[in-house]
Amino acid sequence: MKKIVAVCALSLFSMVAGANELLLTSSSSKAGATQVSIDFVSDGQAVAFQYNIALPKGVSADQVDLRSCSADLPKQYVGECSVAKGQIIGFVVNDANVPFPAGVLPVGKIGIASAAKLRNLEVLKLEVVGSNAKTLKASVSVDPVK
Amino acid sequence: MNKINKSLMAAMLLAALPLSNALACTIDAWTGSPSATAPTANGPQSAESNARYSGLCALSADAGQFVVDNFPGAEGVYRARFYVLTSAVTSAATIFKATASDNGQGATVVSIDLGAGGTSLSFNQNGTSAGTITGLTPGRWYSVEFLYKAYVDAANPGSFEASVAGNVSFTGSIPATPLSAGNTGTIGSAVLGFASGTGPALRFDAFESTRSADTPIGRLCRGDASGDSSLSIADRVAINNEILGNSVVTGQPDCTEDGAVSIADRVCLSNRVLAADTCP
């Protein structure tokens, strides 16, 4: 009974504390490439978010495929990404200043074609912003590279 | 380092205003006697849409209008930085001068002229040309910073140097040049505005001055709309809010430095974020 109560309490905590969350899920292909799926869980207040991911060790900029980095976004949102100064940088914004609906927002995918053995991705920065341009609480969930 | 700040914003006076009032733009912080018809401080909160570089306000000066800072006291080392939104002035316009006495009186120690057409800035110290920077575009924001060190003796000849940057990618400078004997003027007041010349109005912002010979004042962070000294998506949202008329930002939203806050600034700022640019 105590264990059940503890598990429920933890779940409730994560729902409240991690209300805005960037989800990075990695998977490897037989060719040695890695695909990173990007999703964002919104608390219903965010109008924009930006992420900066460290370029994995051994990976060069031209080994990063950003063509689909915002391909899964609904049309009313703007998403852009780049590789610069050793980072993969991306952001999603609703320029109408209307918050994303609460829940999961699919963003897109980043491809990393490298024979280098990738460690877990390192998110250097996650900034989630409300309609008043103030930052909101947010967290990151990175699934290990399989 | 002693710092002499002179902000065109009414920030220092805000605490004295009732909270229910809209933030006010004022030239009250300028302690000297302005021109007979004083320039106005205004910004995007005014009925008209007015350009400013940073914060809520800028100084708008028609020909003959200027403000004066009497804070300097016989300064032999004087550094100042300000932003100017140039215009295609029809004759050379004195936009800054530092003089020996209060209220812009006495010998002119340093002067800066915007050339006819608004494409050059000429610097003078103690009546001698210190150099000209060309290639400016009228209707753009430029930062102007100079350092004047008066001649003391042969072992300490002093120097004059200046730097100009703006319109996103323009830079120009006058390297530190030793002064010759006789260039001993000290500064008692500073005049900022459209002190002489003719042409369309000029706007000024973010004036600062110090006594430091070693530490530049430097530029503000272009595109840092939120004013937190970093470039991020929060600045894009802040720029959006101003474009949409929701609020006026307090940082530097005019990323393109073209005198307007628009979608172009949103794109400019986004490009800076994606390039991992950082604030100076």
ipTM of the complex: 0.81
- Residues B39, B45, B49, B54: is their CA dihedral positive or negative? positive
Contact of A89 with chain B, judged by CB distance below 8 Å, is answered with yes
Task: Report whether A66 contacts A122 (CB < 8 A).
Answer: no
Contact of A124 with chain B, judged by CB distance below 8 Å, is answered with no
Give the Cα separation of A4 and A11 in Å (integer): 11
Q: Write the DSSP string, A18-55.
A: TSSEEEEEEEE-TTSEEEEEEEEEE-S-EEEEEEEEEP
Give the Cα separation of B199 and B201 in Å (integer): 7
Give the Cα separation of B37 and B66 in Å (integer): 8
> Considering only CB atoms, which chain A residues are within 8 Å of B270?
80, 91
Q: How far is B221 from chain A (nearest CA, A)?
A: 17
- In percent, the amount of chain B with pLDDT more than 90 equals 84
Contact of A121 with chain B, judged by CB distance below 8 Å, is answered with no
> Which residue from A minimizes the CA distance to B225?
A133
Amino acid residing at A40? F
Least trusted range by pLDDT, from A101-105, B71-75, B116-120, B241-245? B241-245
Task: Report whether B113 contacts B94 (CB < 8 A).
Answer: yes
pLDDT at position B48, please?
58
A85/B274 Cβ within 8 A: no
Q: How far is B222 from chain A (nearest CA, A)?
A: 17
A132/B233 Cβ within 8 A: no
What own/partner pairs with CB < 8 Å and gap ≥ 24 does A68-75 have? A68/A108, A68/A109, A68/A110, A68/A111, A69/A38, A69/A107, A69/A108, A69/A109, A69/A110, A70/A107, A70/A108, A71/A108, A71/A109, A72/A106, A72/A107, A72/A108, A72/A109, A73/A105, A73/A106, A73/A107, A73/A108, A74/A105
Contact of B250 with chain A, judged by CB distance below 8 Å, is answered with no
The mean pLDDT value of chain B amounts to 90
Q: Taking 90 as the threshold, does the pLDDT of residue A50 lie above it?
A: yes
Question: What are the percentages of helix, strand and coil residues in chain A, rounded to 5?
Answer: 15, 45, 40
Which of B237, B250, B262, B270 is the best residue to mutate to test the A interface, defined by the most A CB atoms within 10 Å of its own CB? B237
Q: Taking 80 as the threshold, does the pLDDT of residue B20 lie above it?
A: no
Give the Cα separation of B134 and B131 in Å (integer): 10
- The string of pLDDT tens digits covering residues B151-204 is 999 999 999 999 999 999 999 999 999 999 999 999 999 999 999 999 999 999
> Considering only CB atoms, which chain A residues are within 8 Å of B274?
80-82, 84, 89, 91
For residue B267, the SS3 value is: helix
For residue A82, the SS3 value is: strand
- The string of pLDDT tens digits covering residues A62-118 is 999 999 999 999 999 999 999 999 999 999 999 999 999 999 999 999 999 876 666
> Which residue from A minimizes the CA distance to B246?
A132
Give the mean pLDDT of A13-24. Answer: 69
> Considering only CB atoms, which chain A residues are within 8 Å of B227?
none
Give the Cα separation of B123 and B176 in Å (integer): 12
B241: pLDDT confidence band, cut at 50, 70 and 90?
A: very high
